[in-house]
């Protein structure tokens, strides 16, 4: 197989010109996204550059302490993003803690399972495997949990009268919120299910594309991509179920009364 073709800063700048052109067109059309688009592109470039430097150092050390610190930093940032993406989130540390705790239980557990049982890296926490796999699981789990929590809390706010009527008719909090919980998880799972359904037919997933561009045989790249998508589906699904269960419990008090005062609007 051929070696990876190196990219120069000029090559990246040419690609950046396309985003700049898009921002100009969006500004002329009055779409109101030009600034956000340019800031996001600049943040992405800076963040990935810094991550490359950190990973290069981390790969040379293979120290479990540094790997754990990197993983916890990724988890904390993902937890903040989950809370920030909700139109109405739980007040206080609950908004951050439920999303972060759900990702920790689901994404970390599934990542450890994948590394120890499927990949069988030696050691299992080898950063060149652990960090990329955890990053992909955290990213997708973060999106799923943010979507389902946003759907749950916004739905509870909009359907508060219906929920309170069901409570007055004798239903407990689990039953009264059951439809919303199921709909929140179902809606958040759709992107994952759609992505798996068209993988290899409509799109080539990112990890597979990266391995092929890096010179790995397509057959081996496909195996890794299948593994990653299965882990993502499991991690995202379990994370959503945990998050919805915890958030649904927080929306009620011990007397099964709906407590929307525990929500804060963004």
At 40, the pLDDT band (50, 70, 90 cuts) reads very high
* % the chain with pLDDT above 90: 41
Residue range 225-239: mean pLDDT, rounded: 90
Buried b / exposed e over 7-26, threshold 16 CB at 10 Å, is: eeeeeeeeeeeeeeebbeeb
Q: What is the mean pLDDT of the chain?
A: 87
Alpha helices in 85-158 (DSSP H): 93-103, 109-113, 127-158
The answer to whether 140 and 236 have CB atoms below 8 angstroms apart is yes
Alpha helices in 114-126 (DSSP H): none
Q: Determine how β-strand 88-90 pairs with β-strand 263-265.
A: antiparallel
Residue range 180-205: mean pLDDT, rounded: 85
At 1, the pLDDT band (50, 70, 90 cuts) reads very low
* % the chain with pLDDT above 70: 93
pLDDT at 181: 92
Whether the pLDDT of residue 215 is over 60: the answer is yes
Q: What is the pLDDT of residues 136-173, one digit of tens each?
A: 899 999 999 999 999 999 999 999 899 889 888 888 88
For residue 264, the SS3 value is: strand
Q: Name 199's bridge partners.
A: 203
Q: What is the pLDDT of residues 42-70, one digit of tens each?
A: 999 998 898 888 888 888 877 888 889 98
Residue range 113-141: mean pLDDT, rounded: 88
DSSP 176-200: HTHHHHHHHHHHHHHHHHHHHHHBT
pLDDT at 214: 67
- 221-235-104 Cα angle (round to 5): 120
Measured CA to CA, the distance from residue 25 to residue 37 in angstroms comes to 12
pLDDT at 78: 92
The answer to whether 103 and 75 have CB atoms below 8 angstroms apart is yes
The answer to whether 240 and 146 have CB atoms below 8 angstroms apart is no
């Amino acid at each position: 197989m051929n070696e990876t073709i190196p990219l120069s800063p000029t090559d990246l700048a040419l690609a950046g010109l396309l985003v700049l052109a898009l921002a100009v067109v969006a500004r002329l059309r009055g779409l109101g996204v030009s600034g956000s688009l340019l800031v996001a592109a600049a943040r992405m470039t800076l963040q990935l550059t810094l991550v490359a430097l950190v990973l290069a150092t981390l790969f040379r050390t293979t120290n479990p302490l540094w790997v754990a610190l990197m993983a916890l930093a990724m988890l904390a940032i993902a937890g903040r993003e989950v809370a920030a993406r909700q139109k109405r989130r739980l007040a206080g540390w609950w908004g951050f803690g439920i999303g972060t705790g759900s990702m920790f239980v689901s994404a970390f557990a599934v990542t450890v399972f994948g590394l120890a049982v499927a990949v069988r890296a030696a050691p299992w926490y080898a950063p060149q495997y652990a960090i990329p796999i955890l990053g992909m699981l955290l990213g997708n789990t973060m999106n799923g949990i943010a979507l389902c929590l946003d759907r749950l809390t916004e739905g509870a706010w909009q359907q508060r009268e219906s929920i309170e009527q069901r409570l007055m008719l004798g239903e407990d909090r689990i039953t009264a919120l059951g439809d919303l919980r199921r709909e929140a998880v179902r809606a958040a799972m759709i992107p994952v299910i759609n992505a798996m359904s068209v993988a290899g037919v409509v799109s080539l997933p990112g990890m597979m594309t990266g391995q092929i561009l890096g010179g790995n045989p397509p057959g081996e790249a496909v195996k890794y991509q299948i593994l990653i998508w299965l882990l993502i589906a499991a991690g995202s699904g379990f994370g959503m179920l945990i998050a919805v269960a915890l958030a649904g419990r927080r929306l009620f008090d011990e007397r099964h009364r709906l407590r929307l005062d525990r929500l804060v609007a963004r």
